[in-house]
Amino acid sequence: MERTMRTPIIAGNWKLNKTVSEAIALTTALKASVVDVNGVEIIVAPPFTALAAVSDVITDSNIRLSAQDVYSEDSGAFTGEVSAPMLKDVGCDYVIIGHSERRQYFGETNESVNQKVKAALAHGLKPIICVGELLEEREAGRTEAVIEDHVTGGIASLAAAELLSCVIAYEPVWAIGTGKTATPDQAQEVHNFIRGLLAKLSSAEVASQIRIQYGGSVKPENASELMAQPDVDGALVGGASLEAESFAQIVKFDS
């Protein structure tokens, strides 16, 4: 299936940034900047505390809401956690799962990622499953082994229909927040590897339909050349999503 059959998906991961009032201001400005954009799925992922306010701002707009994490249980004695039904209730369509910062600093594993993915899907949330190698893993020639481990573990025992609701985000850890973007060729190579892996793990048809985002220092200056790669279907944007103008320019990568 041609890339043209996969709707481009550009998501802004705000990480630990923005108070409620700042989030409202950013989203209001973004909404105005992207009002005429068609054919690109636009997503913002504010921190939990700003989800409700941002959800109000984007009602009836072309912007969709994502959370940055979710817990695998629906409710109960799990102090500090937020569940999939809660995220659905506040207006989320997507949830980022297994971001490298969660793997590095908060003990996220392939197993916990897989449980969270299943919880999200059970409540109609679309998981954005993050995978990516560390610099030392790339330098040791282990990129494909690490990606295979993350993808295989993250999507373990999902049905084909469930897989079709997932987005994979390839984020080389050495490119996140460092200003060192993967070259378009490096991104394409790994995206192509992931698509081949999905064909093996599921089917060629599923593999051809799943969207694979690139993340790691995506900016207005490099978005179009990354998006021009045949297997790059979108971007997961950190730093450059914190200002409406730069994120809107990335969303308009093909204009």
Instruction: Decide if 99 is catalytic.
Output: yes
Q: Where does this chain touch ligand PGA (CB under 6 A) — which range of 62-70, 106-114, 152-160, 216-224?
A: 216-224
Question: Distance between CA atoms of 117 and 95, rounded to whole angstroms?
Answer: 9
Tokens found for residue 17: 């940034």
**Active-site residue flag, 123:** no
Q: Which region, judged by CB under 6 A, interacts with ligand PGA, from 135-143, 198-206, 225-233, 238-246?
A: 238-246
Give dist(CA 73, CA 129) in Å, integer.
18
> Residue 176 burial by CB count (10 A; 0-12/13-18/19+): exposed, middle or buried?
buried
What is the smallest separation between the CB atom of 66 and ligand PGA, expressed in angstroms?
A: 11
* 215 touching ligand PGA, by CB under 6 A: yes
**Of the candidates 125, 151, 218, 250, which one interacts with ligand PGA according to CB under 6 A?**
218
* Nearest residue (CB) to ligand PGA, 234 versus 239: 239
Given the residues 41, 99, 150, 191, the one annotated as active site: 99
Question: d(Cα 197, Cα 26) in Å, to the nearest integer?
Answer: 38
Work out which of 57, 125, 158, 176 binds ligand PGA, going by CB under 6 A. 176
Q: Considering CB under 6 A, how many residues would be counted as binding ligand PGA?
A: 13
Nearer to ligand PGA, 14 or 207 (CB): 14
Task: Report if residue 216 touches ligand PGA, rule: CB under 6 A.
Answer: yes
Q: Which residues are known catalytic residues?
A: 99, 171
Residues at the contact surface with ligand PGA, assessed by CB under 6 A: 13, 171, 176-177, 215-218, 236-240
